[in-house]
Amino acid sequence: MTRLILTAPQVFDGKHMRPDHAVVIEASEIIAVLPIDQAPDGPRQDLQGTIAPGLIDLQVNGGAGIMLDGHATAQSIATICAAHARLGATGILPTLITDTPTATTAVIAAGIAAARAKTPGFLGLHLEGPHLDPKRQGAHDPALIRPMTDTDLAELCHAAAHLPSLMLTLAPASVTLAQITKLTEAGAVVSLGHTEASYDQANAATKAGAACVTHLFNAMSQLGNRAPGLVGAVLSGNLHAGIIADGLHVHPATLRTALAARQDGLFLVSDAMAVAGTTLTEFTLGSRRILRQNGRLLLADGTLAGADLSLPQAIAFLITQLGQSPSRALAMASHIPASLIGTNAGTIRPGAPADLVHFDANWHLNGVWQNGNRL
């Protein structure tokens, strides 16, 4: 069996930074994490900087020039997964933005096929809409936003049972508390987003089973002095929340405040679009043209439409611009999102998949291994 030993001054195992450690890989699995002087014999690569788990991204709309849409197949999902693996996210939830019922059905079928094919990096699906609040549509097509029906509920429960994981971004304006409970009981991770929900409505949805919030601060009710909104429910409660840490979607001072208010439960997402992993300067979202300009993805009216961001860039932003510890920044892109969806990825320990990333001293991505193979 092929063995590979990677050593580094720092190995982050998902929760703790271990100085001067070695990671021992056999085939596609990690078999040991131990001090360098206790490493066994075998082919060895001595690296500088930091080794961390392969990154986990729970909100990926596209990559390699394509979006996840109604034309999805197991192969197109594999293409998106492969593009993000090369960017450091070795496990992702390809994400469908609000679309037609036919498109949703097609994406679910493609996701189930991708799971059966054991597609590298495919952890399940994220359906962001169409059951949102049109008052907070963001870049979603308001004409396609609609309340959840019994037919929708049955389809989503079936999807949750047949996918490795299923995350659903929903707004209380378009779903009932009973529907949230049924989805949660079916195994879906319900995330609140694109919503004007009040603090009380958010807490009621949480009691019904909602566990997460989609891209904190963006497209949601904000924190006010007498109306805490969904943001207040996150900052004062236990909901997990994804954050787009590019300095554009959330002001650095606002992000720093959130990180101070919540010591756990916050995680990084890229909200990446079709341009990820390419040099493309534009693409289409439905029938709308999206421009890539100076690190922004914009609709014609200037609305942000996803992010031009990778998780390593978000990690570097937290460490170098916001002064967060490397351990916290790395956990927000590995163990924390992985634990939310119940996967054993996002950690370095015996029995975990041999998915790893290597950062240099300046927190630039310097190498990626997936299933023990360097990409």
Catalytic residues: 271
Q: How far is CA 9 from the centre of its chain?
A: 28
Query: CA–CA separation, 112 vs 296, rounded Å?
Result: 32
DSSP-assigned states of every residue in 345-357: -S--STTSB--EE
Which of 113, 107, 148 is closest to 129 using CA atoms? 148
- The tokens for 238 are 């236990």
Residue with tokens 């601060």: 217
210's enclosing H/E stretch is none
Which of 325, 3, 240, 20 is closest to 11 using CA atoms? 20
- Report residue 274: phi and psi, to 5°: -55, -30
* DSSP 3-state of 147: coil
DSSP-assigned states of every residue in 67-103: E-STT--HHHHHHHHHHHHHTT--EEEEEEES--HHH
Under DSSP, the state recorded for 164 is: S
Which of 212, 234, 193, 199 is closest to 97 using CA atoms? 193
Query: CA–CA separation, 341 vs 205, rounded Å?
Result: 18
Cβ 275 vs Cβ 308: under 8 Å: yes
**What is the torsional sign of CA 127, 131, 132, 137?**
positive
Under DSSP, the state recorded for 339 is: H
